[in-house]
Amino acid sequence: MLLPSLSALLLAGLPAANAAITYKGVDWSSLLIEERAGMSFKDVNGNTKPLERILVENGVNTVRQRVWVNPSNGDYNMDYNIQLARRAKAVGLGVYIDFHYSDTWADPGKQGIPSGWPTDIDNLSWKLYNYTLESCNRFQDAGIQPTIISIGNEITPGLLWPTGRTNNWANIARLLRSAAWGIKDSRLSPKPKIMIHLDNGWNWNTQNNWYTNVLRQGTFESSDFDIMGVSFYPFYSEAASLSALKTSLTNMANSWGKEIQVVETNWPVSCPNPRYQFPADVRSIPFSEAGQVQYVTKVADVVRSVNRGNGLFYWEPAWLNNAALGSSCPENTMFAWGGRARSSISVFQRI
């Protein structure tokens, strides 16, 4: 989704901090699983509605969806994602596809090659190119044109292990080149923006080391992608501060000139026993609906302060059967148990 039409001159004259966030989104990947389990969703007034309608009414303009290659039960595969994306498109939501390139979760702790795929770099690169190409063509044939596609999920330690681990940057570069060109050579029209997604967005050393090593191979080029996406979770490290995030994202923008987005983040409404100390500059934010609004607004302010910072996505605000959302805080969703939206969901109207 794009900003409302304004002249380049007017945009150039606006301070970055006053610019709107172009991509205001949530990851809603688990919706169909929730619905199969009998879950329905209500707006803040208690009216039962499709989740996509509630999201649109509260300012969300793009939804993120993870894609697994051949999951054992079909969840998050291509058929699942086409069904979900059709619902998004029907209400005018943009779709951001997050290819995990695995049969299950791909993240900093695991990046397994899909079952049946080759492991040598030549054949694996070719398989990755064709899988990406064919997947994109399936979206086009279904009438879905994603606005963003991420080639890998939190690939700081590499992708498609063991072939694409960070002990072999040349292999990582080849794999990313194949994935990017699978998108570029597909029938998708218009073409989506291509994203690289790393975790620990607050850590400039991590970001700098990764991009420097990949791009110096000469295989995967800066022109092969458009967006640098990061995950940012304040409850995993006391060092994951908003100030560190701003420094890191600013340095990334200045070093490579790409669009910058925080594509995974969330904030708890309850956190009685956090595993780690929260960063100093967020400790005053309460664990509540009001706290969610404060936190998301502060992250949006950081993104807006960065040159070409233009996107913020909340990770799985409606996954009620997994309300901890991976943290030691028991509730991070923007919907309460029972499916009713918290008032914090309206924060997307304000950022």
- Residues serving a catalytic function are 154, 264
Distances (CA, A) of 288 to 23, 295, 342: 24, 10, 10
Is residue 190 reached through a cis peptide bond, with omega within 30 degrees of 0 on the bond before it?
yes
Is residue 162 reached through a cis peptide bond, with omega within 30 degrees of 0 on the bond before it?
yes
- For tokens 């995967």, the residue is 220
Please give the Cα distance from 65 to 72 (Å, whole number).
18
Please give the Cα distance from 284 to 20 (Å, whole number).
25
Please give the Cα distance from 228 to 195 (Å, whole number).
6
Distances (CA, A) of 68 to 106, 171, 218, 324: 9, 21, 29, 22
DSSP 8-state code for residue 78: H
All residues at 6 or more sequence positions from 35 whose CB lies less than 8 Å from its CB, including other chains: none
End-to-end CA distance of the chain: give it in Å, rounded: 14
Which amino acid is present at 47? Answer: N
Nearest to 44 by CA among 289, 308, 350, 261: 289
* 3-class secondary structure per residue, 223-291: HHCCEEEEECCCCCCCCCCHHHHHHHHHHHHHHHCCEEEEEECCCCCECCCCCCCCCHHHCCCCCCHHH
Give the start-end residues of each E strand in the chain.
Answer: 23-27, 41-42, 48-49, 62-67, 94-99, 148-151, 193-198, 227-231, 259-264, 309-314
All residues at 6 or more sequence positions from 15 whose CB lies less than 8 Å from its CB, including other chains: none
Cβ burial of 14 (10 Å; 0-12, 13-18, 19+) is: exposed
